[in-house]
Structures are given as C-alpha cells and as structure tokens.
C-alpha cells in the first residue's frame, strides 16, 4: 500500500524559520514527523522532528556519518571534512579517542579560574558602556579564548579576524568570498600546525600539539585528519557555546521572572546547573544534528527513506516535544528531569559538553550580575540570526542599560 500523501508546511512558517523555527517544528511534529524535501539535482533530505524518533536515530547503525556516501555532497570546507563528526567506526572511535582526554569533565573543571578571570576582564571593558553587544563584546571572544587555550593557539592568532574566518565557513558573510575564506582558513591552519611541529613552544602541553605528535610519531592521524580536526575543534568549541550564551541571555531577557531566580541571593549552584540545562533545551545552540545519511532503506511513519538520502535530526524540535517535556514552550529554570538532546546522544554525543556547561554556568549568572538591569536595544523579532546549516545563533545581541 502506498504511503499516504504528506501535507506541505505553510509558507509563512518556512519564511520565518531562521528567526523562529519553533512554530515550523511544531507543525512538523503534528503533521509530518518524517518530512522529505526533494529538489532537482540535490539529494533528498528527510526532517525528523519528534523526540522519540530523533533520540532513537541518533544511535541507529543504519545511519552513516560518512558524507562520501552522498555523491557530490561536501558538508564543509574543501579538504577539512575528515574528522570525527564525519566518520563512522572504526575511524570515529580512533579519532575520538585522540581528543577525548582533553575534554573529560575533571580536566575541564580546572579551567574555571581562567574562564572566570577572562569573563571578568571582558566585562570590565564594557563596564561603563550604555550599549553592549553580548555576542561581539563577550560571548564571542570568551568562547574563542577558551577553545584556543585548550588547543594551544598562540595569542597572535586568537583574533577577531580568525574568528570571522571560521564563522564564514558555516554561514554567508557579507564582503567575504567563500573561496578566499577557505584559502585564508587553510593558511591559518598551516601556520598553526607548523608552529607545533617546529617546536617553537617547547614544553607546551596542549591538545593540538599532542595531536601533531600522535600523527608524526605513531601515524595515528593523517595530515588531512589533523587539519580537519583542528578546524572542527576551533569551530564547534567556539560557536556552540557562543550560541548557548547568546540564546540563553535572550531567553532570560524575555523571561525576567526566570532571570530573577538566577540573581536572587539564595540562587545556588544547583539552580544554576538546572538553569543551563533548561536554556540548552529551550533554544538549543545546535538546531539540527550534524550530517547523517541512510546506509540502507529505513521506514519511518509510513515513509521510505532510501539508501543515500540525507536524514536531518531536528534537535531543536525534539527539545520542544510536549510528549517528552510538559509545557515544552515554557522556560522553567528549575525543570527536572531534563533529558534534552542539545548535545546529541549515543556515540556522537558532543565531546565538548563539559566545556559548554562550564562556560554557561560561569558566563550567564556573571552577565546578569555585572551588566545589571538591561533590555534589548531593538525588538526581539528584529534581531538577526545567522543562517547556518546546523547551528542556531544570533549575529548580534545588542542590549542597553536601564
């Protein structure tokens, strides 16, 4: 029996989904939990929107992370796609093991004094400013400084220009030509890796130096894998947590009663921890799970997903599914339990989750305390969101002191 026809989403929801995807997600969950987008000359893309389905498919061996299974599809910059996010076992297992030690929670916890000091210094710069951009003045430089510290990026490469180059690889940037962006990115990575290899920093203990040695001394990582991994960690170690801080601050500004809970004298570490988990769920910094395609046919809700079709697991939609989270569209900083999927689930669970959680628990309460009473400098529906393929993050978050 043929599958029943699937309705098309209303055009107004499609138009608004970069700014506010949640009405679109709600429509998908209700009317088309396995929705396919077919366009001439492109692979079919299936959007999976319900929590139960997304969580199950995140661990389903019938889905592959290898973009080479989709002819002509290149998910990232040329020559920088051989990393753990785009690998199946055994390559994924090998590559993840090489970077895992740097991100274990006990090691990340040691970074808290440096993180707190860096956050205070950034806020010192804008202490007397009436207008502050939470992204440009705080969230962007803070999160990039942290991942640079972990990787061992020299301070002369920890610059706004380097951050701009990275961000331009995942979303169109006015004035930057994609081919020139890729060229500049490859040059930056070449310089960074060459410095590690030359021994200009004797005795330095950092992740990138360890990866260079692993490749050179044991062959555990190829040169393309090394470059790709350096790019991946710089990008997601910065972008994901920048989005958490930006999206979280926007949510708090829209819910002053909830924000007041974080600034109350009796707000303890347990409330801060649950607040960060709820902000991760409420407006997830990762909107869609990273690339997956069907390695064999899969039937879902009466629809047949063919081998080679791309499967987009909508993290942001799953985290607003009322069947899993009561009153899912409400922000409740004390929500427990909160088994959201903002960091994924299963073998590809985000390796930087502990870092993101630490940055969120330090940065968000500190922002509220140091900035004092603030309001958005423009209406929320006029804020610009970056049109990235996977991430959900603001281009800017301008606030004014009140």
DSSP string, 201-236: STT---HHHHHHHIIIII--S-HHHHHHHHHHHHHH
Per-residue pLDDT at 2: 55
Q: What is the pLDDT along the chain (402 residues), one digit of tens a residue?
A: 555 566 788 989 988 998 999 999 999 999 999 999 988 778 899 999 999 999 999 999 999 999 999 988 888 898 999 999 999 999 999 999 999 989 999 999 999 999 999 999 999 999 999 999 999 999 999 999 999 999 999 888 888 888 988 888 887 777 767 778 889 899 999 999 999 888 765 444 589 999 998 888 888 999 999 999 999 999 999 999 999 999 999 999 999 999 999 999 888 899 999 999 999 999 999 999 999 999 999 999 999 999 999 999 999 999 999 999 999 999 999 999 999 999 999 999 999 999 999 999 999 999 999 999 999 999 999 999 998 889 999 999 999 998
CATH superfamily of domain region 80-286+330-401: Cytochrome P450 (1.10.630.10)
Per-residue pLDDT at 217: 87
Extents of the domains making up the chain: 80-286+330-401
Could you give the CA distance from residue 265 to residue 252 in angstroms, rounded to a whole number?
17
> In whole angstroms, how far apart are CA 23 and each of 11, 15, 49, 222, 249?
12, 11, 12, 44, 21
3-state SS track over 111-146: CHHHHHHHHHHHHHHCCCCCEEEHHHHHHHHHHHHH
Per-residue pLDDT at 201: 57
Strand 45-48 versus strand 374-376 pairing type: unpaired
Per-residue pLDDT at 203: 42
By 3-state DSSP, what share of the chain in percent is helix, strand and coil, each rounded to 5?
50, 10, 40
The whole-angstrom distance between residue 86's C-alpha and the CA centroid of its chain comes to: 15
Main-chain dihedrals φ then ψ at residue 34, nearest 5 degrees: -130, 95
- DSSP labels for 348-387? G--TTHHHHHHHHHHHHHHHHHHH-SEEESS-GGG--B--
Could you give the CA distance from residue 272 to residue 262 in angstroms, rounded to a whole number?
7
The H or E element spanning position 64 is strand 63-64
């Amino acid at each position: 029996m043929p599958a029943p026809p699937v309705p098309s989403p209303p055009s107004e929801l499609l138009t608004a989904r970069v700014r506010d995807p949640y009405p679109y997600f709600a429509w998908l969950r209700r009317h088309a939990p396995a929705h396919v987008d077919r366009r001439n000359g492109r692979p079919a893309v299936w959007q999976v929107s319900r929590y139960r389905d997304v969580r199950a498919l995140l661990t389903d061996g019938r889905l592959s992370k290898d973009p080479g299974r989709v002819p002509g599809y290149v998910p990232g910059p040329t020559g920088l796609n051989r990393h753990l996010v785009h690998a199946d076992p055994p390559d994924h297992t090998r590559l993840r093991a090489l970077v895992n030690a740097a991100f274990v929670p006990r090691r990340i916890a040691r970074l808290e004094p440096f993180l707190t000091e860096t956050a205070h210094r950034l806020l010192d710069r804008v202490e007397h400013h009436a207008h502050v951009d939470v992204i440009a003045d705080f969230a962007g430089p803070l999160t990039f400084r942290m991942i640079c510290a972990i990787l061992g990026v020299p301070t002369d490469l920890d610059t706004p220009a380097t951050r701009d180059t990275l961000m331009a690889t995942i979303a169109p940037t006015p004035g930057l030509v994609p081919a020139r962006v890729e060229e500049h990115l490859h040059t930056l990575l070449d310089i960074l890796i060459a410095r590690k290899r030359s021994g200009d920093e004797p005795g330095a203990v950092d992740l990138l130096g360890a990866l260079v040695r692993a490749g050179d001394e044991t062959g555990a990582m190829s040169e393309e894998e090394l470059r790709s991994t350096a790019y991946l960690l710089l990008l997601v170690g910065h972008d994901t947590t920048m989005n958490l801080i930006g999206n979280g601050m926007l949510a708090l500004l829209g819910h002053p009663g909830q924000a007041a809970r974080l600034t109350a004298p009796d707000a303890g570490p347990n409330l801060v921890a649950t607040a960060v988990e709820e902000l991760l769920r409420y407006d997830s910094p990762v909107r869609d799970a990273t690339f997956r395609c069907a390695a064999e046919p899969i039937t879902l809700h009466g629809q047949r997903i063919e081998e080679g079709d791309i499967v987009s697991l909508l993290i942001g939609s799953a985290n607003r599914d009322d069947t899993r989270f009561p009153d899912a569209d409400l922000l409740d900083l004390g929500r427990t339990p909160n088994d959201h999927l903002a960091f994924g689930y299963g073998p590809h669970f985000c390796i930087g989750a502990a870092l993101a959680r630490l940055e969120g628990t330090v940065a968000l309460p500190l922002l509220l305390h140091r900035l004092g009473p603030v309001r958005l400098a423009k209406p929320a529906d006029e804020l610009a969101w970056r049109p990235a393929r996977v991430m959900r993050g603001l281009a800017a978050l301008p606030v004014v002191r009140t």
